Amino acid sequence: MAKDLLLHCCCGPCSTSSILRLQQEGFNPILFFGNSNIYPASEAQKRYDALRRVADYHHLELIHGDYDHTSWLTQVKGFEKEPEKGKRCDLCFAYNLQEAATEAQKRGISYFSTTLSVSPHKSSIRIFSVGERHDQFVPIDFKKKGGYQQSIALSKELDLYRQDYCGCEFSLAEKNKRNRHHSHPTEHSIQR
């Protein structure tokens, strides 16, 4: 019999292959969307809607946690200027995984994990070091076994919304800065 596992899901695309892997490993995933880090709220809603499509497709329960961006900002206060993949990200992982642990405990679910490890832009080791502060955390590197590539293929198949930044306003600002940098040609690249 499959064991219930609360799966913290950052978005629909990352959940696709993660769900299949969990099912193959004998778990019954119960999806959880908290993600108070996502900015603006309209972006969080787009990501939730994509996850809802995945949940419906697999006939899985989906729990929508409270969206409290102000509380998340308090968690990362003092680290707003950290670059992407810096200390702010560890604090963000801690916030989201604490929410998942609390939700699992509240519902009597013995295990929880996160889809964050499917991203090639995130260090699974760092995510696991935060998650392992909780006894019920199951460290699964979802990018292994072709998980990331499978998530891209399944996202296309289900026509899911795919975001182009991690989630918070700080990662959005970094993305916008990179885009501005790439959209301004240098003197050397201008054809005359």
* φ/ψ (deg, to 5) at 3: -90, 135
Task: Give residues with Cβ within 8 angstroms of 47, minimum separation 6.
Answer: 10, 11, 12, 33, 35, 38, 161, 163
Report whether CATH 3.40.50.620 matches the domain 3-189: yes
Can you give the pLDDT at residue 182?
75
What pLDDT tens digit does each residue of the chain (192 aa) get? 899 999 999 999 999 999 999 999 999 999 999 999 999 999 999 999 999 999 999 999 999 999 999 999 999 999 999 999 999 999 999 999 999 999 999 999 999 999 999 999 999 999 999 999 999 999 999 999 999 999 999 999 999 999 999 999 999 999 999 888 777 554 444 343
Angle made by CA atoms 53, 59, 63, in degrees to the nearest 5: 70
Task: Give residues with Cβ within 8 angstroms of 135, minimum separation 6.
Answer: none
- As separate numbers, helices (DSSP H) first and strands (DSSP E) second, the chain gives 7, 4
Report d(CA 3, CA 23) in Å as an integer: 9
Query: Residue for token digits 């809607």?
Result: 49
Q: What share of the chain is helix, strand, coil (3-state, %, to 5)?
A: 50, 10, 40
Give the Cβ contact number of residue 185 at 10 Å.
9
Can you give the pLDDT at residue 184?
56
Can you give the pLDDT at residue 185?
52
* φ/ψ (deg, to 5) at 101: -60, -45
- Predicted TM-score of the model (pTM): 0.93
Show me where the domains of the chain are located: 3-189
Q: Which two tokens stand for residue 107?
A: 């519902």
Report d(CA 161, CA 46) in Å as an integer: 7
